[in-house]
């Protein structure tokens, strides 16, 4: 039923197809580009325009942009998705518990969240990476911690508005336990804003990864990653705009695809949406 409604939403389907193509291309990368090409420098070949031997052209060191983009996607897209998933799940549990139980549970969780929120997300990620050391896995943890407060707040707010609805009372009347009430009656009704917020977060996370890379924390050159590619080419963008446009389009397309999917999902999950 959900899939049926999702299928009817053209934009959501476009988003899904787009994301699947990108994921497939990234996964199948070794089939058409040698991994060595990612960092193979050929000064003679620098600033080749897109087309010809290098589909996306080459950068200032003569590295093939296509190879860098397609391998860089592994980090940008997969790490981005991982961060969103982790912070989504943790945020939902924390926000769910805080909103539903209230009282002491709420106070403790929300004060911790407030403390985290008081620190700018970038600064927090930097601190965590600095403490944990470099590596993609650590980067994911650091960025997740920075995003969790946001989800917790959104989830808690939507649960607070639902907690005292009569259908929740009706469920309590039948002796339904708290977990079932939250999972079956409250969360499905409060998911709309959370899903939208999750899809928007992905774009933010991809850019955060890039920013951290640019600062030399997390992923750094020469390991490719969309944000890093963008930042290492920024001085040449003026004369060789394709160096900025292509990674920019990749980031934009993936964020857009996930946004479309998120909107579609939100509508498909809600039976009140008109068919």
Partner 1 sequence: MTTPLIETKGLKKYFNTPGGSLHAVDNVDLKISSGETLGVVGESGCGKSTLGRTILRLVDATAGEVLYDGQNILNFSQQQMRDVRMNMQMIFQDPFTSLNPRLSVGEIIADPIEVSRTVRGRREIREKVRELMDVCGLPERYVNTYPHELDGGRRQRIGMARALALNPKFIVCDEPVSALDVSIQAQILNLLMDLQQSKGLSYMFITHNLCVVRHISNRIMVMYMGNVVEVASRDDLFSHPTHPYTKALLSAIPTTDLSRRNSARQILKGEVANPVDPKPGCRFNPRCPYATKSCQEQQTLKEIASGHYVACSVFAG
Q: Of how many residues is the chain composed?
A: 275
Quick one: which of 133, 173, 238, 239 contacts partner 1 (CB under 8 A)? 173
Least Å from the CB of residue 2 to partner 1? 10
Among 10, 42, 49, 172, binds partner 1 (CB under 8 A): 172
Binding test (CB under 8 A) with partner 1, winner from 50, 62, 102, 188: 188
Helices and strands (DSSP H and E) totals, the chain: 13, 0
Binding flag, residue 35, partner 1 (CB under 8 A): no
Q: Which positions from 105 through 124 interact with partner 1, judged by CB under 8 A?
A: none
Q: How far apart are CA 179 and CA 186, in angstroms?
A: 10
Q: Which residue among 165, 234, 235, 241 contacts partner 1 (CB under 8 A)?
A: 165
Stretch that binds partner 1, among 107-115, 160-168, 215-223, 235-243 (CB under 8 A): 160-168
- Tell which one of 189, 211, 220, 223 touches partner 1 (CB under 8 A): 189
- Residue from 63, 185, 226, 233 binding partner 1 (CB under 8 A): 185
By CB under 8 A, residue 161 contacts partner 1: no
Closer CB to partner 1, residue 133 or residue 175? 175
Per CB under 8 A, 53 contacts partner 1: no
What are the φ/ψ torsions at residue 160 (nearest 5 degrees)? -55, -40
Q: Where in 241-270 is the site for partner 1 (CB under 8 A)? A: 269-270
DSSP of 135-155: SHHHHHHHHHHHHHHHHHHHH
**Interface with partner 1 includes 160 (CB under 8 A)?**
no
Q: Does 167 bind partner 1 (CB under 8 A)?
A: yes
Long-range CB pairs of 222-228, under 8 A, 24+ apart, other chains included: 222/38, 222/39, 223/75, 224/38, 224/39, 224/67, 224/68, 224/69, 224/71, 224/72, 224/75, 225/72, 225/75, 225/76, 226/69, 226/72, 226/73, 226/76, 226/250, 226/251, 227/76, 227/251, 228/72
Return the CA Rg of the chain: 22
Which residues are near partner 1 by CB under 8 A?
Answer: 165-167, 169-176, 180, 184-185, 188-189, 269-272
């Amino acid at each position: 039923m959900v899939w049926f409604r999702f299928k009817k939403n053209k934009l959501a389907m476009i988003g899904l197809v787009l994301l699947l193509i990108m994921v497939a291309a990234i996964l199948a990368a070794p089939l058409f580009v040698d991994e060595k090409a990612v960092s193979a420098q050929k000064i003679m070949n620098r600033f080749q325009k897109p087309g010809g031997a290098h589909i996306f052209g080459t950068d200032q060191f003569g590295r093939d942009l296509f190879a860098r983009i397609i391998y860089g996607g592994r980090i940008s897209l997969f790490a981005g998705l991982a961060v969103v998933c982790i912070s989504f799940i943790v945020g939902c549990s924390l926000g769910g518990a805080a909103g539903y139980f209230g009282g002491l549970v709420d106070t403790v969780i929300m004060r911790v969240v407030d403390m985290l929120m008081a620190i700018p997300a970038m600064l927090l990620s930097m601190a965590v990476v600095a403490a944990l050391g470099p590596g993609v896995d650590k980067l994911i943890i650091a960025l997740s911690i920075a995003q969790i407060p946001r989800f917790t707040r959104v989830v808690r707010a939507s649960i607070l508005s639902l907690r005292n609805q009569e259908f929740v009372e009706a469920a309590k009347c039948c002796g339904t336990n708290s977990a079932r009430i939250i999972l079956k009656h409250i969360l499905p009704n409060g998911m709309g804003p959370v899903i939208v917020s999750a899809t928007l977060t992905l774009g933010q996370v991809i850019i955060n990864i890039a920013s951290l890379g640019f600062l030399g924390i997390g992923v750094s050159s020469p390991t490719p990653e969309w944000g890093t590619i963008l930042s290492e080419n920024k001085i040449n963008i003026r004369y060789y705009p394709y160096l900025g446009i292509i990674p920019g389009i990749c980031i934009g397309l993936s964020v857009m695809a996930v946004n479309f999917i998120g909107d579609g999902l939100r509508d498909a999950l809600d039976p009140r949406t008109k068919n």
